[in-house]
Amino acid sequence: MEKLINDFSFGLFFWQTLLFIILLFLLKKYAWKPILDALNSREEGIKNALDEADKARQEMVELKSSNEQIVKEARAERDAMLKEARSMKENMITEAKDDAKEQANKIIEQAKATIENEKLAAITELRNQVAELSIGIAEKIIKDELSAKDKQVELIEKMLQEAKLK
C-alpha cells in the first residue's frame, strides 16, 4: 500500500479519471440506453405475456364453465326427449290396445248379431217346415176321414157345435 502512495501521480490520476468519465458517458449514450431499453421491452413483453396467460386461463375457466353448462343443458334436453319418447310409446301402446279391444268388441257384437239372425232364420225355416208337414199330415188325415160320406157329415156337425160354443 505504501508503494501505491509513493508512486501516485496526479497527471495519471487526472487522465484515468477523465478516461473513466468519457467511458461512462459513451457507455451511457451507446450501451446502457439500448441495454436498458432492451431490458425494459423484455420486461414489458414478459408482463404482457403473463397478462395474456392470465386472460387465457380466465377464458379457459369461463369456457369450461360454459361447456359444463352446455353439457348440463344437453343432458336435460336428452332426458326430456327420452321422457317424451317413452310417453309417446306408452300412449301409442294404450291407443293400440284400446283400438284392438274396440275392434274385438265390434267383431263379437257382429258375430252375436249374425248368430241371432241365423238362429231366427233357422227357427222361421223350422216353423215353416213344421207347418208344411202339419198341413201335409192334416191333408192326408182329412182325405182319409172325408172319403166316407157319413164321416163328412159328422165332421161338419162337430165344427158347428164348436163354433156355437165359442
Q: What is the pLDDT of residues 54-87, one digit of tens each?
A: 999 999 999 999 999 999 999 999 999 999 999 9
- What pLDDT was estimated at residue 106? 94
> What is the C-alpha to C-alpha distance for residues 106 and 108, in angstroms, rounded to an integer?
5
- What pLDDT was estimated at residue 110? 94
Does residue 156 contact residue 165 with C-beta atoms inside 8 Å? Answer: no
| pLDDT of residue 102 exceeding 80 | yes
> Domain residues of the chain, as ranges?
2-165
| pLDDT of residue 134 exceeding 70 | yes
- Render pLDDT for 144-159 as a digit per residue (tens, 0 to 9): 666 667 777 777 788 7
> What is the C-alpha to C-alpha distance for residues 165 and 157, in angstroms, rounded to an integer?
13
First vs last Cα of the chain: how many Å apart? 183
Q: Which residue has the higher pLDDT, 121 or 165?
A: 121
Task: Give the whole-number percent of the chain exceeding pLDDT 70.
Answer: 94
- What pLDDT was estimated at residue 36? 83
Within 13 Å, how many C-alpha atoms sit on residue 8's CB side?
8
| pLDDT of residue 166 exceeding 60 | no
Does residue 145 contact residue 155 with C-beta atoms inside 8 Å? Answer: yes
Concatenating the DSSP letter of every residue in 94-136 gives HHHHHHHHHHHHHHHHHHHHHHHHHHHHHHHHHHHHHHHHHHH
